[in-house]
Amino acid sequence: MPAKAKSKKPKVEKTVHQQMKDIEKKERKQNSISQGLAIVALLLNILIPPFGLGSLIAGKIKSGIYQIVLTIVGFISFLTDILAIIGAPMMIVAWVWALITGINIVKESK
């Protein structure tokens, strides 16, 4: 019986998804902020309403704006009698989202 020849696997280039991940990693490294600023951003996100100010400071513009809008709409809804049931959960969601964003900012910092 002839021995089976080992077939060489052709080199497979990275998929587009893998290339995009590599690009995102490089951008994160270039755009990362200092550890001190990241901690300040986290504290702002946790302690000072409207939640999302720390995200803005750290350069997460879209997330920061959405968090601030959600906090303000939730607060205004909370002040009305009818929408108070909706306003409180909106503010809690904005706070949790800001907290998670702040933690991610600290993880991504230098």
> pLDDT for 10-24, tens place per residue?
556 778 878 777 777
pLDDT (tens digit, 9 = 90+) per residue, 76-106? 999 987 788 899 899 999 999 999 999 999 9
The label of the residue with tokens 């998929």 reads 15
- DSSP category for residue 82: S
The one-character DSSP state at 80 is S
Whether the pLDDT of residue 107 is over 80: the answer is yes
What's the pLDDT at 100? Answer: 94
Q: Distance (Å, rounded) from C-alpha 64 to C-alpha 40?
A: 14
Contact predicate 70/93, CB 8 Å:
yes
Average pLDDT over residues 37-50: 91
Which pLDDT band holds residue 29 (cuts at 50, 70, 90)? low
Q: How confident is the model at residue 110 (pLDDT cuts 50, 70, 90)?
A: confident
Residues 36-61, mean pLDDT to the nearest whole number: 91
Cβ atoms of 87 and 70 closer than 8 Å? no
